[in-house]
Amino acid sequence: MNDARSSDRAPGSRSAPARTAPVVGRASVLASQIAVGAALLAVWQTLVSLKILDAFFVSRPSDIVQRVARWMASGTLWGHLAVTLEESLLGLIVGAALGISLGFALARSPFLARVFDPYIKMLNAVPRVVLAPLFLLWFGLGIWSKVALAVTLVFFVMFFNTFQGVRDADRVLIDNVRMLGATERQLVRHVLVPSALTWIFSSLQTSLGFAMVGAVVGEYLGATRGLGYVISQAEGTFDTTGVFAGMTVLGIVVVIVSAAVTRLERWLLRWKTE
């Protein structure tokens, strides 16, 4: 019926333009994000000032900002932050490298994927926090126990996403490339890697947070430096402001690094919008 009606239109008539969703600019999004954050902080500050919330348990945003500023001015923050970033970066690099490599390998070999499937699922089910004391026993209180914990958190996220990304590659495209005489290396470079890149960068955003969590949890359980150590010391003295200040610094760092990863993803995947 609709096709018959459309065919009866006058030759010179124009159809109504399709409605498109309005494009939201980055500046508008950023302004909205800042407004939401400012509103939440204002409510928090007001509730504590009116003694509806006890400052001993939740501190004040103004006190937290002052504590972070004091750490920055005295220079005590930078050493602890550098240690945590080093542990997180090493854990992210090693975990991502292992996860991507093994994900590619098993995705290209269905037989090996079926052989190792129960072992990978079994290892993935082990709570990572249980491994932290073992890593402290094996590697000591240095950075490597924290790196090992971060690797265990990052590896499985990167592995499963890479495996799925390679498996989701267009089978028709793969068959056509092979018919044209492409080698395995050319197939991986021009078909499988582009197919998996979206999945890899998507998991990289999550893995970044997990790497920071692994480093901080390891520091919290046993360390002499790092943001986890700072939070642990503040918690031991019932210093709520210090605990929130350490978590605030950690959150800001994750947002900054995540924004850098997003920009890198847009640059590497620019071919998808061309």
pLDDT digits (tens, 9 = 90+) for 15-29: 444 455 455 677 888
pLDDT of residue 274: 52
Mean pLDDT of the chain: 81
Reported as a pLDDT band with limits 50, 70 and 90, residue 94 is very high
Which secondary-structure segment (H or E) carries 266? helix 240-268
Per-position DSSP letters for 88-154, written without gaps between them: HHHHHHHHHHHHHHHHHHHHT-HHHHHHHHHHHHHHHTS-HHHHHHHHHHHHTTSHHHHHHHHHHHH
Residues 6+ apart with CB under 8 A from 265: 201, 204
**Structural contact between residues 154 and 137, judged by C-beta atoms closer than 8 angstroms:** no
Between 264 and 230, name the one with better pLDDT.
Answer: 230
Residue 67 pLDDT level (bands cut at 50, 70, 90) = very high
Instruction: Collect all residues with Cβ–Cβ distance below 8 Å to 215 and sequence separation of at least 6.
Output: 84, 87, 88, 91, 146, 147, 149, 150, 226, 228
Which tokens sit at 249? 């610094």
**What are the tokens at 246?**
């350490």
Task: Identify the residue with better confidence: 260 or 96.
Answer: 96
Q: Which two tokens stand for residue 131?
A: 């491994």
153-198 pLDDT, tens per residue? 999 999 998 888 877 766 666 666 777 666 667 677 667 777 777 7
Beta-carbon contacts of 226 under 8 Å, excluding residues fewer than 6 positions away, are: 80, 83, 84, 87, 146, 215, 216, 219
Q: At what angle do helices 193-221 and 128-139 cross, to 10 degrees?
A: 70
Dig out the tokens for 52 from the structure: 């509806």
Q: What is the mean pLDDT of residues 146-150?
A: 91
Averaged pLDDT for residues 124-132: 84
Q: Contact at 8 Å (CB) between 157 and 207? A: yes
Angle at the Cα of 226 from the Cα atoms of 220 and 231, rounded to 5 degrees? 50
- With pLDDT > 70 as the criterion, what percentage of the chain qualifies? 82
> Contact 87/77 with Cβ under 8 angstroms?
no
pTM score = 0.77
Residue 151 has pLDDT above 80, yes or no: yes
Residue 208 Cα distances to 175, 202, 256, angstroms: 35, 10, 11
The first and second tokens of residue 194, run together, are 């582009």
Please state which architecture CATH assigns to domain 59-272.
Answer: Orthogonal Bundle (1.10)
- Tens of pLDDT, residues 53-66: 888 888 899 999 99
Band of pLDDT at residue 43, cut at 50, 70 and 90 = very high
Distance CA 19, CA 7 (A): 22
- Across the range 142-155, mean pLDDT stands at 90
Over residues 248-253, the mean pLDDT reads 89
Q: Report whether 199 contacts 164 (CB < 8 A).
A: yes
The answer to whether 200 and 208 have CB atoms below 8 angstroms apart is: no
The residue type found at 43 is: V
Measured distance CA(203)–CA(260) in Å, rounded: 15
